[in-house]
């Protein structure tokens, strides 16, 4: 235990004293703090109160304006005033309208061919032409009013009659996935980054010891199991400390600026958080993270040069990316068979079980089974990783394939 502590302390000090780690941590903490303060910063520069009064009468309740759009009315049955009063420029010819669009004098042009049809002209097609949707909406509204009048009905009366609001009160007995979505997404992404970053750190760290030939001194000084356990735990703690530090600053920024956030965002971020959810998240994250770090460390020991690390860890990285993909599906559809099964597979349950738990009710026995499977797999892979590390650590030369390494372990060669 004392030796594990020695390795742990040396490795942790080594990681946390790296300039790159310090700079990245401080930078990300600052970025998160600033990002969470954006609503306050925006409100400082918000000049909503100084609206140009001349434009006020051109805007309807929702603030929409046809400023920058041009209209040519082929049909005389259309009420031009609706469009012109909202800032639209009336053209006398369709050609002039097209020319102005082409010269970027106006951003969009509309040729109203009849009360229920129009052509829209733009220079470049973007995904959504908002103005076109609004033209369509206004034309539709005008036509409905016209139809109602023709049917001898007062449009205002009909409008009032149709304006019925139903009050509903939803009582959620299980979990509210709508309020858990954001928190699930943020935490899942944080775990993804944590495993990918620190997995890469630990495998590079092992490969470097082979590359600079420190390995032979290390394994003749103490047991390989002590070295790999100390190294994995140090990387695990360093990763959690780094992410925790950044998270604290993000949280601090949010707490300080919480009054600037709309209530629905506050609910979306924290509505789905509960102590038990946080506990489940932490348990699966910590053990799954350690499981991945052991595998990354053993894969690092199979290569002799640092530049070979990335190709060596590709299979496990791909596996984790697949797990991330399944967890992303789980955020939309937590009850599907794929997500359910993956929440019991230790390589994916690190992400999918917390996502399931945040999104829906998960029976306690499912949590327990998944956790036990995770623990057993972590112990098994820690054992295999120690063996691979012991064997790979002194095998210089060509990269050893993982399958060959496992075969060699079990044939005790």
Q: Rule CB under 8 A: which residues touch another protein?
A: 3, 6-7, 10, 13-14, 209, 212-223, 394
Residue 127 C-beta: closest distance to another protein, Å: 49
Q: Which is nearer to another protein, 6 or 314 (CB)?
A: 6
Residue 297 C-beta: closest distance to another protein, Å: 17
Residue 7 C-beta: closest distance to another protein, Å: 7
Q: Which is nearer to another protein, 102 or 394 (CB)?
A: 394
Q: Which is nearer to another protein, 302 or 367 (CB)?
A: 302
Tokens of 284: 């699966």
Q: Which is nearer to another protein, 237 or 306 (CB)?
A: 306
Residue 204 C-beta: closest distance to another protein, Å: 12
Residue 47 C-beta: closest distance to another protein, Å: 52
Q: Which is nearer to another protein, 146 or 208 (CB)?
A: 208
Convert the chain into a string of H (helix), E (strand) and C (coil). CHHHHHHHHHHHHHHHCCHHHHHHHHHHHHHHHHHHCHHHHHHHHCCCCCCCHHHHCCCCCCCCCCCCEEEEECCCCCCHHHHHCCCCEECCCHHHHHHHHHCCCCCEEEEEEECCEEEEEECCCCCCCHHHHHHHHHHHHHHHHHHHHHCCCCHHHHHHHHCCCCCCCCCCCCCCHHHHHHHHHHHHHHHHHHHHHHHHHHHHHHHHHHHCCCHHHHHHHCCHHHHHHHHHHHHHHHHHHHHHHHHHHHHHHHHHCHHHCCHHHHHHHHCCCCHHHHHHHHHHHHHHHHHHHHHHHHHHCCCCCHHHHHHHHHHHHHHHHHHHHHHHHHHHCCCCHHHHHHCCCHHHHHHHHHHHHHHCCCCHHHHHHHHHHHHHHHHHHHHHHHHHHHHHCCCCCCCCCHHHHHHHHHCCC
Q: Which is nearer to another protein, 213 or 407 (CB)?
A: 213
Residue 234 C-beta: closest distance to another protein, Å: 12
Place of tokens 């623990």: 375
Residue 407 C-beta: closest distance to another protein, Å: 14
First to last CA, the chain: 29
Distance between CA 223 and CA 3 in Å, rounded? 9
Q: Which is nearer to another protein, 13 or 407 (CB)?
A: 13
Residue 221 C-beta: closest distance to another protein, Å: 4
Residue 222 C-beta: closest distance to another protein, Å: 5
Q: Which is nearer to another protein, 160 or 214 (CB)?
A: 214
Q: Which is nearer to another protein, 90 or 216 (CB)?
A: 216
Which residues have CB under 8 Å from 9's CB, separation 6+? 234
Q: Which is nearer to another protein, 218 or 345 (CB)?
A: 218
Residue 210 C-beta: closest distance to another protein, Å: 9
Distance between CA 84 and CA 90 in Å, rounded? 7
């Amino acid at each position: 235990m004392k030796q594990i502590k020695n390795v742990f302390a040396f490795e942790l000090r080594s990681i946390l004293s790296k300039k790159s780690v310090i700079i990245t941590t401080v930078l990300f903490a600052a970025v998160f703090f600033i990002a969470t303060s954006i609503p306050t910063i925006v409100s400082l520069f918000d000049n909503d109160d100084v609206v140009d009064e001349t434009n006020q009468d051109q805007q309807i309740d929702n603030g929409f304006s046809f400023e920058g759009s041009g209209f040519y009315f082929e049909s005389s049955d259309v009420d031009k005033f609706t469009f012109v009063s909202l800032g639209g420029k009336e053209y006398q010819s369709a050609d002039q309208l097209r020319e102005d669009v082409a010269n970027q004098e106006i951003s969009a042009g509309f040729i109203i061919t009849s009360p229920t049809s129009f052509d829209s002209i733009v220079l470049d097609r973007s995904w959504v032409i908002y103005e076109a949707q609004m033209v369509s909406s206004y034309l539709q509204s005008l036509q409905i009013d016209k139809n109602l009048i023709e049917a001898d009905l007062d449009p205002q009366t009909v409008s009032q009659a149709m304006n019925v609001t139903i009050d509903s009160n939803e009582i959620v007995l299980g979990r509210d996935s709508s309020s858990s979505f954001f928190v699930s997404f943020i935490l899942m992404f944080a775990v993804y980054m944590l495993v990918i970053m620190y997995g890469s750190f630990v495998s590079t760290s092992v490969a470097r010891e082979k590359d600079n030939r420190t390995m032979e001194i290390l394994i003749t000084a103490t047991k390989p199991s002590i070295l790999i356990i100390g190294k994995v735990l140090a990387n695990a703690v360093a990763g959690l400390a780094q992410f925790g530090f950044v998270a604290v600053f993000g949280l601090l920024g949010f707490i300080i600026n919480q009054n600037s956030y709309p209530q629905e965002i506050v609910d979306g971020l924290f509505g789905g958080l509960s102590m038990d959810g946080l506990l489940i998240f932490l348990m699966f994250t910590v053990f799954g993270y350690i499981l991945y770090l052991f595998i990354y460390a053993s894969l690092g020991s199979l290569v002799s040069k640092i530049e070979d690390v990335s190709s060596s860890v590709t299979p496990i990285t791909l596996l984790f990316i697949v797990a991330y993909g399944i967890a992303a599906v789980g955020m939309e559809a937590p009850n599907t068979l794929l997500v359910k099964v993956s929440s019991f597979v230790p390589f994916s349950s690190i992400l999918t079980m917390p996502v399931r738990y945040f999104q829906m009710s998960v029976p306690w026995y499912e949590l327990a089974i998944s956790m036990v499977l995770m623990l057993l797999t972590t112990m098994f892979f820690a054992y295999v990783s120690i063996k691979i590390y012991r064997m790979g650590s002194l095998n210089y030369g060509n990269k050893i394939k993982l399958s060959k390494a496992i075969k060699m372990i079990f044939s005790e060669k």
